Amino acid sequence: MEFCPWCGLMLQIESARGGRNLSLSCPVCPYYCIPVSKIEKEIAIVKKEVEPIFSGADAMKLAPKTKATCPRCHNGEAYFKQMQIRSADEPMTTFYKCCNDKCHYDWRED
């Protein structure tokens, strides 16, 4: 990405004036330039590790329980945790984990 030295906005790519080359131009002010060299930059994407909602066996012992029906085994009790994962004006998201020792299914309620 290149930015306008006059106003600081991101420059847009368009056909150069009077030729087949490409140029960079500002959408607001009259600034434009023709790149001298090829613009190329390769950035490796680093994926974020997905953390479990309830991490470790000790977290399960300390988590509060509530009455909730597991969609997998239909057990009537689950551990829960509430987190704000959207903007502040959206409601909290509730995450559940089945209390059944054979199931331990995770689900969420928005």
Task: Write out the binding residues for Zn(2+).
Answer: 4, 7, 26, 29, 70, 73, 98, 103
Reference 6, options 35, 29, 33, 27; nearest CA is 29
Classify residue 65 by burial, with Cβ atoms within 10 Å: 0-12, 13-18, 19+.
Answer: exposed
Counting Cα atoms < 13 Å in the Cβ hemisphere of 24 gives: 15
Check residue 27 and report its DSSP letter: S
Q: Amino acid identity, residue 28?
A: V
